[in-house]
Structure 1
């Protein structure tokens, strides 16, 4: 993947898709061997810099210097790992080292240089070093000179054309092997008069219950529900606690070698954690895609998104701190910015301080509502508190403090579109039942349970004939 592109070239966005692998036992063994060899490269760099620290020499952090040391090690030092894959590990180490150095220069004393060993390190190959099958279901990874070719079968077809693929990365997560495919995707081009208008601005408020609440310029609004994501976090936490309590008596003591049963439990735990992360990540992408699709339909060209990451530094108790960590607000921002850039929409981060506690009508402080409806006791303004905050965020100026340009008026939402993220999560489908929940108590023998209320009209007409809801007649809706 090139680090510098011609400024005159068409704008592109780098997108990465994670694809599973269908491997034989031998292919799986060779893939893990490549990842372990990459871990050996990482450990060698750490060991070399440890020796230099003892001699008080300058550490080796430059990518060019590390490549010279790799060339001096000779062929065959790291098994089947070729020089391109080994250099990708050196690039990863160099980027991590200089990122930590920059943070320390900026005054962040908590930044640490990479000094921890890793058993498995991802390996990346760039365009021209790997081969894609014309059918898009197989990929050939390069190996060391004299090694056998390594062809891997993909679990699904690549979501990008072969000519757009720039790199592939082999990695392991939760005991499973994946291939991250990175491609250059051109920014969407619209017909004249149909694309996003930069003058049309919408505000985005980030939250836990609603990951994205968007207020548009014409009174249009969008609410994306994230209750399924929150339920997935809660049920995963309860399942993890129950599993830990069940194996607490079998846990090996400190210094004792673990049994096969304990290793099996750890392997199962890693698999469950990986599945949970993939489920939440997919739901977050669905929510961001819903926002961008709605913005393109409304021809919104600029999104003002409130940055709430300052609240992460506040200690709010053990339970609420866990909710904030599970929120993953930084990932929500990153996903939305990536999809907005691909659609040709500009995103600005603004200060959202006071948007949920200030009335946009009279600009006076209002108490925090107990529910989702905000009501101003001074001017009687009423609305959904997340959408009211998003409408105020739309008027904020990017950069600096919580400033609103003089003369700008808040456009309150009039038409609200509701969408739900995470329909693939357990319990979010038609059954509305998570298999991890304990079963409901059965009714007594002979009882038929709660019946559907009888229709208010007589004649025995079904719901399909009248189209009416028996619980909500037309005159009471």
Structure 2
């Protein structure tokens, strides 16, 4: 919940960063004990309101009422969980209950009140109850228990005075700490601040996550081919891993073995790493757009919202692409970074922008490739950039843009330098490199299917491997 601030105070925004933990076995057990205690508290609240519902009594959902019940339960009821962490669980329940009640009053009868139990529940501590210094975090515990001091795997990316809360969570097979801080909106020198009247259209896509076109003819293309490659390779690795471990899977009605549990844990860790890589690439792409907008003093970004196409059936392969396309996250990340930079973001309907000429505004046949050609005015240009120009004209309040000059230079950037396909070699960094020498043998690269004559020549002639730097 945001704090009350003075009307003349500078604008701030809340941002959250996830930081990993380096724990000993005892510290890991204590962290899981806190999460389990929070889950027990959540289950107690659910059971208590279930009893009241069977007796046809009014449910207890107010935060103050829940806190009074917690105080009446006495200290030590929920293990090492202190009162601040326990109240954060009660706050989460109260917010979820009143949110469901508001949606049900609005006519959404399918919305249900919170009733699902959780074995591990996130615990949050607010400013003044925890200690943070360098890479060490002190988490408070209940009276009589020693404080829990954990070590972070990296420094917190926010100033220490700006940190307002920390949350202990378990996700993707690991323990994390989510650090929330209040950051002031960026300020600029005179003559360098973004101007509200300078508008740029943003077209969202899969191959190009962001295609940006400003009204003065500046253009930006952010390539997401590395993200697409990561999705494909992760899918291939997952299928291969499942084929290799199919024999280890327990039969129907058979209890799982330790070997199978280790296999499943390894699969969850790989899935978590894949999600983190893709999430990081999305943040890099959005940061590239905001940096470009600040450089060109663009104060308004008009983003085309294509979420209407997600419900349209388009075949098995394209439906997979749409499911992997994290569209909502891309819009949310762009909004957050734009708010921190002092840039306004509008969402408009992007229907028909990829098949509308930005010069004569006539409908053209949607190109199958990346180039749009208008037979009426002779316009030729990149399809995504042309759509971004058309989106810019749909800014609320009206905006005047010049005719796009597709002969101008388009700034190209890549998202996810850490992903396979972003480097010059386009090799997956997860694969071990082939090293020549006395240890091991060089394995030739796989040849395409159908290159029989080439295989015969390689079998007859001695293979020659290039040395580094040789052409």
Q: TM-score with structure 1 length normalisation?
A: 0.88
Question: Retained in 2: the 8 A contact 1:12–1:184?
Answer: yes
Unaligned runs of 5+ in 1: 399-403, 453-461, 464-469, 471-477
2:367 corresponding residue in structure 1: 369
Partners of 1:253 and 1:60 in 2: how far apart? 45
Q: State how 1:420-435 maps to structure 2 within 5 Å.
A: 420-434=414-428
2:335 corresponding residue in structure 1: 337
2:62 corresponding residue in structure 1: 62
1:415 is paired with a residue whose SS is coil
1:12 corresponding residue in structure 2: 12
1:38 corresponding residue in structure 2: 38
Q: State how 1:263-274 maps to structure 2 within 5 Å.
A: 263-274=261-272
Question: Retained in 2: the 8 A contact 1:391–1:412?
Answer: no
Q: CA deviation at 1:92?
A: 1.6
Q: State how 1:213-228 maps to structure 2 within 5 Å.
A: 213-228=211-226
Partners of 1:440 and 1:191 in 2: how far apart? 54
1:475 corresponding residue in structure 2: none
Partners of 1:121 and 1:412 in 2: how far apart? 54
2:297 corresponding residue in structure 1: 299
Partners of 2:158 and 2:172 in 1: how far apart? 26
Partners of 2:195 and 2:261 in 1: how far apart? 56
Question: Retained in 1: the 8 A contact 2:169–2:175?
Answer: yes
1:82 corresponding residue in structure 2: 82
Q: State how 1:393-472 maps to structure 2 within 5 Å.
A: 393-398=391-396, 405=398, 410-413=403-406, 414-434=408-428, 440-441=445-446, 443-444=458-459, 446-448=462-464
1:309-360 Cα offsets, whole Å, 9 max, x none, are 1222223333322221211111111111111111111111111111112222
Q: State how 1:62-141 maps to structure 2 within 5 Å.
A: 62-133=62-133, 136-141=134-139
1:49-88 Cα offsets, whole Å, 9 max, x none, are 2222322333332222222222222211111011111111
1:316 corresponding residue in structure 2: 314
1:282 corresponding residue in structure 2: 280
Question: Retained in 1: the 8 A contact 2:217–2:402?
Answer: no
2:7 is paired with a residue whose SS is coil
Partners of 1:3 and 1:323 in 2: how far apart? 41
Question: Retained in 1: the 8 A contact 2:201–2:301?
Answer: yes
1:356 is paired with a residue whose SS is helix
Unaligned runs of 5+ in 2: 433-443, 448-457
Which of 170, 185, 198 matches 1:172?
A: 170
Partners of 1:334 and 1:347 in 2: how far apart? 11
1:184 corresponding residue in structure 2: 182
Which of 353, 356, 377 matches 2:354?
A: 356
1:466 corresponding residue in structure 2: none
Question: Retained in 2: the 8 A contact 1:215–1:412?
Answer: no
Q: CA deviation at 1:417?
A: 0.1
Q: CA deviation at 1:435?
A: 5.2
Q: CA deviation at 1:157?
A: 1.5
Partners of 2:364 and 2:422 in 1: how far apart? 35
Q: CA deviation at 1:449?
A: 6.9
1:200 corresponding residue in structure 2: 198
1:5 is paired with a residue whose SS is coil
Partners of 2:130 and 2:429 in 1: how far apart? 42
Per the alignment, do residues 336 and 150 of structure 1 end up closer, same or farther by CA in structure 2, a change over 3 Å counting?
same
2:99 is paired with a residue whose SS is helix
Say if 2:22 is the partner of 1:22.
yes
